[in-house]
């Protein structure tokens, strides 16, 4: 099948000690997105102390260093370095769906959107079922497998549910730790919101378990919400 003609676009990724997933993630991108569709590919590295930069360079990615620590700063830096009319933003732990290209870019171009993303499910039992449930009941906008207009003009954004990527996690412990650190470093929702979520977590976990026919989320979901709260508390003291 001949790939549709899409104007070459920049690809950017924010990294931080990403060596454990980066080989797999970058290899997958080269498999999914044709070389001729890519204008530039670069990472904004957030003070990694592992082999992240070396790995990215070995795959032909340009490397820039974040001027300030943190994901939000890295994302802003990445956008400032984009030179094409459209660009893609991927996370360092997203194993891209085979259908991401051309489905997501074409959705933006054909429907005159400012952006679009597919959905993603974590690859660890319990978390995977939670993601399946969330994606069935909510439209989750994320910046981990997205395609954007560099100069947004329509205010329209869509989530394409048919494109399902994998959010790579090593095991249950690492998945829980990831949630804690995300809420400690990035998210800043009111603590009251997290307390309410924990209060409802057991009931919602049961719903997830029933809908996905799995016991795992009944145990994992309340734990995850608790780690979110701990991360949010840590964030409030930064």
Residues 155 and 227 in one domain: no
Helix (H) or strand (E) holding 168: none
Say yes or no to pLDDT of 135 above 90. yes
Contact (CB, 8 A) for 21 and 96: no
Residues 78 and 178 in one domain: no
Say yes or no to pLDDT of 3 above 60. no
Question: Which residues constitute the domain of residue 110?
Answer: 9-167
Q: Phi first, then psi: what are they for 39, rounded to 5°?
A: -85, -60
Neighbours of 139 (CB within 10 A): 12
pLDDT at residue 186, as a whole number: 76
pLDDT at residue 133, as a whole number: 97
Residues 80 and 142 in one domain: yes
Average of per-residue pLDDT values in the chain: 94
Residues 104 and 188 in one domain: no
How far is Cα 170 from Cα 195, in angstroms, rounded to an integer?
A: 28
Q: Phi first, then psi: what are they for 144, rounded to 5°?
A: -105, -10
Residues 38 and 103 in one domain: yes
Residues 134 and 161 in one domain: yes
CA-to-CA dists, residue 185 to 141, 189, 192, 213, angstroms: 19, 12, 18, 33
Q: Is residue 123 one of the residues assigned to a domain?
A: yes
Task: Give the CA radius of gyration of the chain.
Answer: 18
CATH code at position 111: 3.90.550.10
Q: State the average pLDDT over residues 192-196.
A: 88
Residues 20 and 102 in one domain: yes
**What domain count does the chain have?**
2
Residues 33 and 94 in one domain: yes
Q: Is residue 231 one of the residues assigned to a domain?
A: yes
How far is Cα 76 from Cα 169, in angstroms, rounded to an integer?
A: 25
Q: What is the pTM of this model?
A: 0.92
Q: Which residues of 156-181 are buried (b: 16+ CB within 10 A; e: fewer)?
A: ebbbbeebbbbbbbeebeebbebbbe
Residues 26 and 117 in one domain: yes
CA angle 32, 178, 184 (to 5 degrees): 125
pLDDT at residue 4, as a whole number: 52
Residues 72 and 131 in one domain: yes
pLDDT at residue 236, as a whole number: 83
Helix (H) or strand (E) holding 117: strand 115-122
In sign, the C-alpha dihedral spanning 150, 152, 158, 159 is: positive
Which residues lie closer than 8 Å to 207 by C-beta, 6 or more apart? Answer: 133
Q: What is the DSSP letter of 52?
A: H
Q: Phi first, then psi: what are they for 162, rounded to 5°?
A: -75, -15
Residues 155 and 71 in one domain: yes
Q: State the average pLDDT over residues 149-157.
A: 96
The model's pLDDT over 62-95, given as tens digits with 9 standing for 90+, comes to 999 998 888 889 999 999 999 999 999 999 999 9
Angle 172-185/216-236 helices, nearest 10 degrees? 30
Residues 106 and 197 in one domain: no
Contact (CB, 8 A) for 32 and 11: no
């Amino acid at each position: 099948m001949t790939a549709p003609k899409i104007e070459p676009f920049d690809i950017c990724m924010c990294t931080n000690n990403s060596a454990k997933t980066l080989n797999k993630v970058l290899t997958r991108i080269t498999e999914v997105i044709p070389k001729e569709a890519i204008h530039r590919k670069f990472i904004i590295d957030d003070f990694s102390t592992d082999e992240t930069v070396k790995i990215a360079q070995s795959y032909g990615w340009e490397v820039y260093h974040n001027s300030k620590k943190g994901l939000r700063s890295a994302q802003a830096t990445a956008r400032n370095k984009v030179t094409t009319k459209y660009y893609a933003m991927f996370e360092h732990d997203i194993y891209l769906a085979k259908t991401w290209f051309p489905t997501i870019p074409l959705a933006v171009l054909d429907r005159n959107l400012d952006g679009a993303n597919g959905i993603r499910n974590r690859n660890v039992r319990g978390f995977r079922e939670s993601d399946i449930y969330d994606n069935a009941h909510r439209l989750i906008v994320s910046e981990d497998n997205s395609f954007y207009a560099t100069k947004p003009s329509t205010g329209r954004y869509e989530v394409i549910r048919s494109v399902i990527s994998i959010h790579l996690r090593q095991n249950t412990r690492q998945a829980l730790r990831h949630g804690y650190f995300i809420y400690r470093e990035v998210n800043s929702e009111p603590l009251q919101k997290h307390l309410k979520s924990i209060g409802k977590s057991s009931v919602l976990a049961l719903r997830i378990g029933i809908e996905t026919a799995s016991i795992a989320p009944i145990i994992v979901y309340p734990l995850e919400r608790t780690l979110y709260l701990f991360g949010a508390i840590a964030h409030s003291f930064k």
